């Protein structure tokens, strides 16, 4: 018998207040864009503000009901990102209707994303359920990833040099975004099962614990798979993302530095190989090293225009609706970060990066707090994938690393990415709920242990 | 892993700072950054004024670029204003005063912050030139009327303020500044290929052999070294050049005075080559060069646009010294430099630094810059006594000598003609430098007309160039 401890606060009201704040900020930004561009408040303001408000309040309600102890900062942070994304898409659409990006469409996708978000929270009552689907998720994930490469061109057209789209019945989706989620689930499940053998069986060479040859299988498979993505689909970003997340999860699962070093070596050799063999990889690297040299030929036009936009933004930015973000091709998808840097300045860009940092930090905190190893790996994988994706796309746009085509989570125009990321946040909330939920104390015989049987090995602290 | 995430975050933050703050200016100024251009053309550009008249102004258009530059009397003022084009950038005053005209000058900083806070559109400053509309128009009209190429520069001898600066043939800056880019490109390409070089500001960019107008400098050197106006000098029909078999003849093949001698006064009056060649030999290259350099030769003028430095040769031997003394050999000066020589004499021996911008006003009409006349280095170029003697001699040139076409009724005018050889088989350039009123100088003018008349004597300078100088002085003093 343990003494009765008062339940820790759920912080749901904090979440509600912050969500409302995030919606208000987005609405104010939307109104400001409309006013600056057209001279009056946009007619779509009510529909937009109301729509976003209702959607995220529904999301909040679902969290309140189905994940009452979940982290209170995740939902407001992504609400603000999603809301500002809508504002920027609206703003770029006003300036250049011919560029892709339609705020109404994005709002519909937001609804779809929040729908999936709610469904995940309602259906997945305990993240450990997912562990059962380790191999299902792996096959589904690989299948989704491979589809564009395998299907005839009618269903998987090459768009902007990459084959990452599926097109059927008038819909286009990027299956890679969903594959990301599935594969992280399967990585986590797989590594929980295999981590002991991967961690312990080793030979010591030169002070490093090197894995046995036969244990190299999984990492080599992951490496080969990401190279295949690169070769068949020419999708640099996704390739990098998958391999990075896998290696990091391997490291977390085994706590062995040698895996990390091995992964980095493989990455380096893969990158070198790709640079030598594939002209499109070479071009990306060359335009990154000296973007000016490729400006006249148009090959670094997008990157340079993005950098010009960032430079013109300066510290405070031109103000929403007062810059020229639409000069950058794909301003509302791949290059939305350049639009932020231009109109909201360094200040706005740093704020956005810190919002991502909050999401990642909260995800990692859930990973630390949750008590089962699968949950730890899953939360860490989800959070790290977000961090890596933001790094790759923002780093690419700002010229820190070579440019790769990845969406900016929650900001970029595009349904697949938005919907998949809402599901990702739902999973993180689910895990954080479990991490912050007070450990059920046996006060009387009617209370049952909530923990699933496969967690019996876990040491519980109270 | 949290460390990895933190490292990535900081890398992004640091890089964002570099892109948006550290290297931002560098990227803003990249020539093909159309963003800067569009921003620059999204607001009106400040006017360039001559007196109270806007000779360059901004007009609203309906195109992608919201404003377009308009030049009034474009070809008259083009050598000074230059142009600003969305494709070709800016030249001359448009470039030199760009920060004031587009409102980004540091002096406007407080104003800009206020505009930013009050959401007012950023306003530009205005630049008022030293030019005088009447002098400028007179110079352009009269030079164009000759049907020849050339340049006119007029200075206020007391300050160095440029009163007129004309270069012919000129061009229409409106057609280069046009937002119709293909049309502008065609026009500019045509100008660039034109062998007459209409885009060059001849007044400061072209160097001409000065010919006899350089005798003013030689006379100044002589008077500064013991000569007097009535000093008798050798003036044979042809001067024997030492160390060579050649000699230096007078154009009419006659001596300039009885007994092959004449006074310095008369030598200048009739522009006697042999006399000034002999004076050059007597003084030597060093003394000639010293005086020339005090008038501004071999010196950069720090002008706000592309300029050429006027030259007096480094180390001439004796025949070269004799030729240099009459403004031939390697002596080459810009029309601006010629005007500075006349202005120096007019100003009692002190040559002033020439300047074009009289005043810059901020968006709120407060004066942020006002011209502050400065002397050239190593002044006075000549003593007040020498200047006074030279003035008397130059008045004599206009009253009784080769420069009679510059006479203005009721006013004393001082001047000197020049006719400069520039290669076999070409017509000589016609020169005239002058100032007026000679007893109270307010304007000094230099005129060069390229390839004047087919006549090696100073008739060409007097007939072609002197009337233009006279017209400019009359227009200004009227």
Contact status of B24 with chain A (Cβ, < 8 Å): yes
Residues 6+ apart with CB under 8 A from A397: A303, A306, A334, A335, A337, A338, A403
Q: What CA–CA distance (Å, rounded) separates A167 from A391?
A: 28
pLDDT grade for A451, boundaries at 50, 70 and 90: very low
Contact status of B117 with chain A (Cβ, < 8 Å): no
Q: Tens digit of pLDDT for each residue in A314-333?
A: 888 888 888 888 888 888 88
- The partner residue sitting opposite B20, judged by closest CB among A292, A314, A395, is A314
pLDDT grade for A5, boundaries at 50, 70 and 90: low
Mean pLDDT per block of 10 residues along chain B (478 residues) reads 84 88 82 75 86 88 81 92 85 86 76 64 83 93 90 94 93 88 88 91 91 91 90 85 78 79 88 88 88 90 84 84 86 93 93 92 84 90 92 90 87 89 77 91 93 66 87 91
Q: What pLDDT was estimated at residue A9?
A: 83
* Partners of residue A361 in chain B, C-beta under 8 Å: 2, 5
Nearest CA in chain B to A394: B12
Torsion-angle region of A32 (φ positive above 0: left; ψ -120 to 50: alpha; else: beta): alpha
Residues 6+ apart with CB under 8 A from A246: A183, A187, A219, A222, A263
Contact status of B121 with chain A (Cβ, < 8 Å): no
Give me the active site residues of B, please. 212
Q: Is the pLDDT of residue A112 over 80?
A: yes
> Can you give the pTM of this predicted structure?
0.67
What is the rounded radius of gyration, in angstroms, for the C-alpha atoms of chain A?
Answer: 23
Q: Do B12 and A312 touch (CB under 8 A)?
A: no
Q: Do A311 and B8 touch (CB under 8 A)?
A: no
Residues 6+ apart with CB under 8 A from B295: B217, B220, B337, B340, B341, B344, B351, B376, B381
Residues paired with B363 in a beta bridge: none
How open is the CA angle B75-B344-B210, to the nearest 5 degrees? Answer: 60
Sign of the Cα pseudo-torsion (B8, B9, B10, B11, in order):
positive
Q: What CA–CA distance (Å, rounded) separates B64 from B66?
A: 6
Tokens of A423: 């599901």
Q: What pLDDT was estimated at residue B198?
A: 92
Tokens of A259: 């895996």
Contact indicator for B239, B325 with CB cutoff of 8 Å:
no
Q: Do A350 and B33 touch (CB under 8 A)?
A: no
- Return the top range by mean pLDDT from A245-259, A390-404, B296-310, B317-331: A390-404
Report in angstroms the alpha-carbon separations of B298 from A3, B315, B320, B330, B356. 99, 13, 17, 12, 21
Q: Do B35 and A312 touch (CB under 8 A)?
A: yes
* Partners of residue A327 in chain B, C-beta under 8 Å: 34-35
A-B CB pairs within 8 A amount to: 102
pLDDT grade for A453, boundaries at 50, 70 and 90: very low
Mean pLDDT of all residues belonging to chain A: 84
Q: Do A380 and B1 touch (CB under 8 A)?
A: yes
- The partner residue sitting opposite A315, judged by closest CB among B12, B20, B39, is B20
* Partners of residue A37 in chain B, C-beta under 8 Å: none
Q: Is the pLDDT of residue A151 over 80?
A: no
How open is the CA angle A86-A92-A93, to the nearest 5 degrees? Answer: 85
Residue in B315, B321, B339, B316 with CA at minimum distance from that of residue B435: B339
Residues 6+ apart with CB under 8 A from B137: B73, B76, B475
Contact status of B15 with chain A (Cβ, < 8 Å): yes
Contact indicator for B109, B87 with CB cutoff of 8 Å:
no
- Dihedral angle, C-alpha B407, B409, B411, B416, nearest 10 °: 0
- The partner residue sitting opposite A346, judged by closest CB among B17, B32, B38, is B17
Low-confidence winner among A76-90, A161-175, A441-455 (lowest mean pLDDT) = A441-455
| Domains of chain B by start residue, with CATH | 206-360+375-477 (3.40.710.10)
Tokens of B112: 């800009």
Rounded to a whole number of angstroms, the distance from the CA of A310 to the nearest CA of chain B is 5
Q: What CA–CA distance (Å, rounded) separates A92 from A133?
A: 41
Nearest CA in chain A to B5: A387
Q: What is the DSSP string of A192-203?
A: HHHHHHHHH-EE
Q: Do A394 and B9 touch (CB under 8 A)?
A: no
Q: What CA–CA distance (Å, rounded) separates A272 from A274?
A: 5
Q: What's the rounded mean pLDDT across residues A173-183?
A: 87
Q: Do A395 and B16 touch (CB under 8 A)?
A: no
Rounded to a whole number of angstroms, the distance from the CA of B28 to the nearest CA of chain A is 6
Pure H helices in B58-177:
74-81, 92-96, 98-101, 109-118, 133-145, 173-177
Q: What's the rounded mean pLDDT across residues A260-289?
A: 86
Tokens of B279: 């004076």
Residue in A373, A377, A370 with CA at minimum distance from that of residue A429: A370
- The partner residue sitting opposite B15, judged by closest CB among A248, A361, A400, is A400
Tokens of B106: 């540091």
Residue A207: CB atoms within 10 A of its CB come to: 5
Contact status of B5 with chain A (Cβ, < 8 Å): yes
Q: What pLDDT was estimated at residue A426?
A: 96
The alpha carbon of residue B307 and the mean position of all alpha carbons in its chain are separated, in whole angstroms, by 8
Q: What pLDDT was estimated at residue B457?
A: 60
Contact status of B392 with chain A (Cβ, < 8 Å): no
The alpha carbon of residue B224 and the mean position of all alpha carbons in its chain are separated, in whole angstroms, by 27
* Partners of residue A349 in chain B, C-beta under 8 Å: 16, 20
* Partners of residue B33 in chain A, C-beta under 8 Å: 308, 311
Rounded to a whole number of angstroms, the distance from the CA of A296 to the nearest CA of chain B is 9
Burial of B473 (0-12, 13-18, 19+ CB in 10 A): buried
Residue B353: CB atoms within 10 A of its CB come to: 18
Report in angstroms the alpha-carbon separations of A166 from A105, A156, A230, A413, B231. 18, 5, 17, 17, 102
Nearest CA in chain B to A245: B1
Q: Is the bond preceding residue B9 a cis peptide, omega within 30 degrees?
A: no
Q: What CA–CA distance (Å, rounded) separates B239 from B234?
A: 9
Q: Do A324 and B20 touch (CB under 8 A)?
A: no
Q: What pLDDT was estimated at residue B77?
A: 93
* Partners of residue A315 in chain B, C-beta under 8 Å: 20-21
Q: Is the pLDDT of residue A454 over 50?
A: no
Q: What pLDDT was estimated at residue A212?
A: 67
Q: What CA–CA distance (Å, rounded) separates B321 from B276?
A: 10
The helix/strand/coil state of A297 is coil
Output the furthest CA–CA distance in chain A (Å, rounded): 77
Nearest CA in chain B to A364: B2
Beta strands B414-420 and B429-436 are antiparallel
Tokens of B251: 């154009």
Q: Do A353 and B15 touch (CB under 8 A)?
A: no
Q: What pLDDT was estimated at residue B334?
A: 93
Q: What CA–CA distance (Å, rounded) separates A422 from A118?
A: 9
Rounded to a whole number of angstroms, the distance from the CA of A155 to the nearest CA of chain B is 36
Does an H or E element contain A247, and which? Answer: helix A236-254
Q: Which residue has the tokens 């230059």?
A: B82
Please state at what angle helix A12-38 crosses helix A74-95, rounded to 10 degrees. Answer: 10
Q: What is the DSSP string of A376-440?
A: HHHHHHHHHHHHHHHHHHHHHHTTSS-----PPTTTSS-HHHHHHHHHHHHHHHHHHHHHHSPPP
* CA atoms within a 13 Å half-sphere pointing along the CA-CB vector of B305: 27
Contact indicator for A237, A245 with CB cutoff of 8 Å:
no
Q: What CA–CA distance (Å, rounded) separates A174 from A157?
A: 11
Q: Do A309 and B35 touch (CB under 8 A)?
A: yes
B 255-274: CB under 8 A from A: none
Rounded to a whole number of angstroms, the distance from the CA of A458 to the nearest CA of chain B is 23
What's the DSSP call for residue B334?
-
């Amino acid at each position: 018998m343990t003494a009765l401890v008062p339940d820790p606060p759920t912080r749901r009201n904090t979440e509600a207040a912050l969500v409302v704040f995030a919606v208000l900020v987005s609405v104010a930004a939307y109104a400001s864009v409309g006013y600056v561009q057209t001279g009056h408040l946009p007619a779509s303001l009510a529909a937009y503000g109301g729509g976003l408000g209702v959607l995220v309040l529904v999301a909040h309600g679902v969290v309140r009901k189905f994940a009452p102890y979940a982290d209170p900062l995740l939902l407001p942070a992504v609400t603000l990102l999603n809301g500002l994304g809508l504002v920027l898409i609206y703003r770029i659409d006003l300036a250049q209707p011919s560029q892709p990006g339609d705020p109404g469409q994005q709002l519909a996708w937001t609804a779809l994303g929040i729908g999936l978000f709610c469904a995940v929270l309602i259906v997945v009552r305990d993240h450990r359920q997912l562990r059962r689907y380790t191999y299902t998720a792996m096959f589904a994930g690989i299948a989704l990833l491979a589809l564009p490469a395998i299907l005839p061109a009618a269903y998987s057209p090459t768009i902007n040099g990459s084959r990452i789209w599926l097109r059927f019945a008038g819909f286009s989706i990027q299956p890679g975004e969903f594959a990301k989620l599935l594969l992280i689930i399967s990585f986590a499940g797989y590594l929980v099962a295999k981590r002991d053998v991967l961690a312990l069986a080793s030979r010591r060479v030169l002070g490093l614990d090197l894995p046995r040859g036969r244990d190299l299988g999984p990492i080599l498979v992951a490496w080969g798979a990401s190279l295949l993505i690169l070769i068949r689909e020419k999708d640099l970003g996704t390739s990098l993302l998958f391999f990075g997340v896998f290696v990091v999860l391997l490291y977390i699962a085994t706590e062995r530095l040698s895996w990390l070093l091995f992964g980095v070596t493989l990455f380096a050799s893969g990158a070198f190989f790709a640079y030598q063999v594939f002209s499109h990889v070479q071009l990306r690297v060359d335009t990154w090293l000296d973007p000016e040299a490729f400006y006249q030929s148009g090959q670094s036009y997008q990157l340079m225009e993005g950098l010009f936009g960032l430079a013109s933004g300066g510290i405070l930015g031109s103000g929403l609706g007062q810059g020229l973000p639409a000069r950058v091709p794909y301003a509302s998808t791949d290059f939305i970060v350049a639009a932020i840097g231009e109109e909201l300045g360094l200040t706005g860009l740093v704020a956005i990066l810190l919002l991502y940092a909050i999401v990642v930090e909260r995800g990692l905190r859930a990973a630390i707090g949750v008590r089962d190893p699968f949950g730890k790996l899953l939360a860490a994988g989800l959070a790290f994938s977000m961090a890596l994706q933001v790094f790759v796309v923002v780093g690419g746009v700002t010229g820190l690393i070579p440019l790769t085509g990845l969406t900016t989570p929650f900001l970029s125009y595009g349904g697949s990415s938005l919907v998949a990321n809402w599901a990702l946040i739902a999973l993180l909330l689910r895990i954080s709920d479990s991490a912050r939920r007070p450990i059920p104390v046996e006060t009387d015989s009617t209370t049952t242990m909530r923990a699933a049987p496969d967690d019996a090995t876990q040491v519980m602290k109270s | 892993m949290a460390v990895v995430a933190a490292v990535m975050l900081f890398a992004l933050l640091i890089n964002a700072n570099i892109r948006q703050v550290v290297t931002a200016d560098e990227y803003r100024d990249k020539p093909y950054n159309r963003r800067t251009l569009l921003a620059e053309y999204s607001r009106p550009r400040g006017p360039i004024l001559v007196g109270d008249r806007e000779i360059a102004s901004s007009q609203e258009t309906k195109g992608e670029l919201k404003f377009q530059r308009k030049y009034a009397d474009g070809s008259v003022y083009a050598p000074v204003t230059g142009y600003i084009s969305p494709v070709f950038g800016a030249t001359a005053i448009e470039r030199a005063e760009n920060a004031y005209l587009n409102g980004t000058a540091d002096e406007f900083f407080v104003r800009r912050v206020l505009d930013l806070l009050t959401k007012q559109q950023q306003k530009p400053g205005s630049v008022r030139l030293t030019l005088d509309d009447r002098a400028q128009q007179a110079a352009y009209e009269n030079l164009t009327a000759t049907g020849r190429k050339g340049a006119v520069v007029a200075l206020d001898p007391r300050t160095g303020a440029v009163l007129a600066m004309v270069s012919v043939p000129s061009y229409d800056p409106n057609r280069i500044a046009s937002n119709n880019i293909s049309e502008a490109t065609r026009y500019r390409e045509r100008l660039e290929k034109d062998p007459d070089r209409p885009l060059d500001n001849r007044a400061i960019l072209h160097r001409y052999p000065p010919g006899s107008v350089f005798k003013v400098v030689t006379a100044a050197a002589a008077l500064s070294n013991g000569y007097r106006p009535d000093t008798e000098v050798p003036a044979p029909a042809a001067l024997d050049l030492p160390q060579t078999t050649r000699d230096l003849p007078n154009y009419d093949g006659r001596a300039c005075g009885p007994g092959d001698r004449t006074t310095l006064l008369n030598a200048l009056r009739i522009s006697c080559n042999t006399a000034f060649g002999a004076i050059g030999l007597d003084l030597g290259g060093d003394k000639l060069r010293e005086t020339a350099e005090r008038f501004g030769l071999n010196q950069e003028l720090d002008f706000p646009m592309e300029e050429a430095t006027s030259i007096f040769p480094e180390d001439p031997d004796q025949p070269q010294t004799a030729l240099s003394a009459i403004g031939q050999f390697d002596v080459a000066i810009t029309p601006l430099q010629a005007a500075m020589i006349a202005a120096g004499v007019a100003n009692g021996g002190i040559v002033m630094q020439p300047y074009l911008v009289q005043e810059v006003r901020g968006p709120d009409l407060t004066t942020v810059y006002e011209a502050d006349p400065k002397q050239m280095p190593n002044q006075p170029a000549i003593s007040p006594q020498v200047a006074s003697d030279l003035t008397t001699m130059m008045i004599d040139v206009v009253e009784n000598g080769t420069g009679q076409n510059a006479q203005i009724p009721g006013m004393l005018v001082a001047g000197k003609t020049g006719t400069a050889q520039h290669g076999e088989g070409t017509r000589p350039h016609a020169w005239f430098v002058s100032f007026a009123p000679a007893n109270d100088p307010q304007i000094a003018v230099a005129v060069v007309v390229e390839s004047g008349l087919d006549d090696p004597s100073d008739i060409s300078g007097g007939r072609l160039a002197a009337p233009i100088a006279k017209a400019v002085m009359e227009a200004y003093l009227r």
